[in-house]
């Protein structure tokens, strides 16, 4: 079975090794298997769990919330009602963020098309400057 | 609500042509009650994005984005006629 050293995992997931050790220390990640010489060896299931943690953190979910979501992830059929409700709430949050990102995508596409149409300078820079001065 | 919105920008070469085309087509008999306005995409970017405008010139008729490029005169005439027929059905 393929396994990875902590440095490889840190590089793959763009996380620090300290963060990986910390997650294991606080129980967000179950104890990682060790080689005979005592070096951590991460399995694919560990990396999958870490990717989930990273995505959830990017949505500003707390570590406590992420811990609950992970119990749901491990065993959705036996999750507590509160955890199911938390999962539903977080899904709503993610969908709202997707809507925002979609609007931003459309706005940036529009601005780039404006830029492409112009041979008199780029409106994108002008808009960024205008927004900055409004703050 | 304005019937027709022509989304343009000052740096877009075909945008003036789009506004001119709408003005010209609206001179046709039966189109006297049709209102229109030119919308500067940079000044009203939120509205442009909400309408689904991604390129200029774009023409929105009755709140629906129908053209994302300069249409032909007949195409525009047909679209306005269809819109008016739908509008009178609602009255």
| ipTM for the whole complex | 0.75
Report the residue from A109, A119, A123 with minimal CB separation from B42.
A123
| Cross-strand pairs, B58 | B7
B56:A107 CB<8 A: no
Burial status of residue A121 (CB atoms within 10 A of its CB: 0-12, 13-18, 19 or more): exposed
The minimum CA-CA distance between A51 and chain B, rounded to whole Å, is 33
pTM, rounded to two decimals? 0.72
pLDDT by residue (tens digit) across B57-90? 999 999 999 999 999 999 999 999 999 998 877 6
């Amino acid at each position: 079975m393929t396994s990875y050293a902590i440095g490889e995992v840190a590089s793959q997931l763009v996380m620090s090794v300290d963060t990986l050790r910390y997650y294991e220390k606080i129980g967000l990640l179950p104890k990682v298997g060790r080689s005979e010489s005592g070096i951590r060896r991460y399995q694919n299931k560990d990396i999958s769990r870490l990717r989930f943690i990273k995505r959830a953190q990017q949505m500003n979910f707390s570590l406590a919330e992420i811990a609950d979501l992970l119990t749901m992830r491990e065993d959705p059929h036996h999750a507590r009602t509160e955890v199911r409700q938390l999962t539903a709430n977080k899904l709503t949050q993610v969908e709202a963020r997707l809507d925002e990102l979609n609007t931003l995508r459309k706005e940036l596409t529009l601005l780039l098309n404006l830029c492409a149409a112009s041979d008199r300078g780029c409106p994108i820079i002008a808009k960024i400057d205008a927004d900055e001065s409004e703050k | 609500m304005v019937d027709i919105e022509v989304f343009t920008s000052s740096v877009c070469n075909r945008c003036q042509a789009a506004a001119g085309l709408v003005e010209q087509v609206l001179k046709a008999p039966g189109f006297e009650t049709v209102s229109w306005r030119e919308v500067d995409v940079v000044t009203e970017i939120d509205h442009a994005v909400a309408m689904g405008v991604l390129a200029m010139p774009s023409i929105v008729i009755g709140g629906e984005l129908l053209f994302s490029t300069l249409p032909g005169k007949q195409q525009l005439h047909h679209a306005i006629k269809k819109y008016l027929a739908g509008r009178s059905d609602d009255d």
